């Protein structure tokens, strides 16, 4: 039965010895999306991506790529439609950038013309004849991306592609990734431990913590969690809550506070006046904002590194 997701994992689990690095992950990547795979260092991002690419064998669970369950027989056929850059770029330092791409192009079986195209996309055209050992880290990273782009695959898996890049390089890489779905119809899975990075690139997000997928939805939904609220602390919380609901305000109680959706100042003043006329003492009126960072930290645990 078609799932309408380009990538799906079902209870994907990886155990090394007694440690479960990835625990029952159900990832869903819609076609044409940029799926940001977010989590602190050591959360299990790379292991999950490696399992999708067949570089690590799952202890449990299954993977579906392009609506086809992956098995040993069809793995290579399905991977022919993917490109990947895992952890650090792979390259032959004693060869030029172009020679490196020629090897990948031979193995991928794609057109030779693609080499020129991808070199232009990653802006390495001028350095094509230079030995990769003489490339900067940013150039190597871009070469890795060029290798992943060869054959213009349907799915691109990039594991921390901005690692080790300078701010300008990071910006350049981000801009490049953002254009891939619209320009080439690709679906991109990009992992990072930086929320801000995913926030700038992705339209879908999955957050992994200690091997478990703790959040998965659109980035818009994640942003919705970060909306501003008005918090009221009053003498009779239950009565005040009833009063607010009678007025059609979607208020919720959180500990001693009543949380209201953000409204303008005049509306807040009116509400306060009405509460006071009902003999409800008003102790505090606060504006609260839950930032994306707060949400991320509450999902991943504050003790985790960012």
Minimal distance, residue 58 CB to other proteins, in Å: 11
Which of residues 5, 84, 162, 229 is near other proteins by CB under 8 A? 84
- Residues 104-163 touching other proteins, rule: CB under 8 A, are 104, 106-109, 147
Q: Which tokens is 178 given?
A: 């953002």
Nearer to other proteins, 54 or 181 (CB): 54
Q: What is the DSSP string of 87-132?
A: SS----TTSBHHHHHHHHHHHHT--THHHHHHHHHTT-GGGTTSBG
How many distinct helices (H) and strands (E) make up the chain? 11, 15
Instruction: Specify the residue, 57 or 302, whose C-beta has the smaller distance to other proteins.
Output: 57
The answer to the question of residue 18 lying near other proteins (CB under 8 A) is: no
List 68, 103, 238, 262, residue binding other proteins (CB under 8 A): 103
Q: Cβ 54 to other proteins, closest distance in Å?
A: 7
Q: Which two tokens stand for residue 298?
A: 């509450």
- Nearest distance in Å: CB 106, other proteins: 5
CA distance 36 to 187: 11
Task: Select the residue interacting with other proteins from 45, 50, 142, 154 (CB under 8 A).
Answer: 50
Among 60, 99, 203, 217, which residue interacts with other proteins (rule: CB under 8 A)?
99
> Per-residue DSSP letters for 196-248?
HHHHHH-SEEEEEETTEEEEEEEHHHHHHTT-EEEEEEES-HHHHHHHHHHTT
Among 1, 19, 76, 168, binds other proteins (CB under 8 A): 76
- Residues 254-293 interacting with other proteins (rule: CB under 8 A): none
23 versus 84: smaller Cβ distance to other proteins: 84
Cα–Cα dist 130/113, whole Å: 19
Q: Residues near 31 by Cβ (< 8 Å), separated by ≥ 6?
A: 4, 5, 6, 187
- Stated as kind and residue range, the H or E segment containing 266 is helix 265-277
Cα distance between residue 132 and residue 214, in whole Å: 40
Sequence-separated (6 or more) residues with CB below 8 Å from residue 265: none
Q: Which is nearer to other proteins, 94 or 273 (CB)?
A: 94
| Smallest distance, other proteins to C-beta of residue 88, A | 6
Q: Does the protein bind other proteins through residue 87 (CB under 8 A)?
A: yes
Half-sphere exposure of 151 (CA within 13 A, CB side): 22
> Between residues 2 and 109, which has the closer beta carbon with respect to other proteins?
109
User: Using the rule CB under 8 A, is 95 a contact of other proteins?
Assistant: yes
How many residues line the site for other proteins (CB under 8 A)?
28
Residues that bind other proteins (CB under 8 A): 50, 53-57, 76, 79, 82, 84, 86-88, 90-95, 99, 102-104, 106-109, 147
């Amino acid at each position: 039965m078609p799932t309408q997701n380009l990538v799906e994992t079902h209870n994907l689990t990886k155990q090394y010895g007694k440690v479960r690095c990835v625990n029952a992950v159900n990832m869903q990547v819609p076609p044409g999306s940029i799926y940001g795979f977010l989590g602190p260092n050591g959360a299990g991002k790379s292991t999950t991506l490696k399992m999708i690419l067949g570089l690590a064998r799952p202890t449990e669970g299954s993977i579906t790529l392009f609506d086809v369950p992956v098995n040993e027989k069809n793995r290579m056929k399905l991977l022919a439609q993917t490109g990947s850059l895992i952890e650090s770029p792979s390259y032959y330092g004693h060869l030029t950038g172009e020679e490196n791409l020629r090897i990948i192009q031979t193995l991928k079986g794609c057109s030779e013309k693609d080499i020129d195209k991808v070199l232009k996309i990653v802006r390495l055209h001028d350095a094509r004849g230079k030995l990769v050992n003489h490339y900067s880290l940013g150039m190597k990273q871009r070469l890795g991306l060029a290798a992943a782009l060869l054959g213009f695959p349907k799915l691109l898996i990039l594991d921390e592609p901005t690692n080790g890049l300078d701010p300008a390089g990071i910006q350049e890489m981000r801009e490049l990734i953002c254009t891939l779905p619209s320009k080439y119809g690709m679906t991109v899975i990009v992992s990072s431990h930086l929320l801000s990075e995913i926030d700038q690139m992705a339209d879908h997000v999955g957050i992994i913590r200690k091997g478990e997928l703790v959040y998965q939805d659109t980035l818009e939904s994640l942003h919705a969690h970060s909306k501003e609220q008005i918090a009221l602390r009053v003498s009779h919380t239950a009565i005040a809550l009833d009063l607010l609901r009678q007025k059609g305000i979607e208020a919720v109680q959180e500990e001693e506070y009543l949380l209201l959706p953000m409204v303008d100042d005049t509306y807040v003043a009116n509400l306060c006046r009405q509460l006071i006329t009902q003999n409800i003492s008003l102790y505090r009126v606060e504006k609260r904002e839950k930032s994306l960072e707060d949400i991320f930290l509450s999902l991943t645990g504050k003790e985790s590194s960012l």
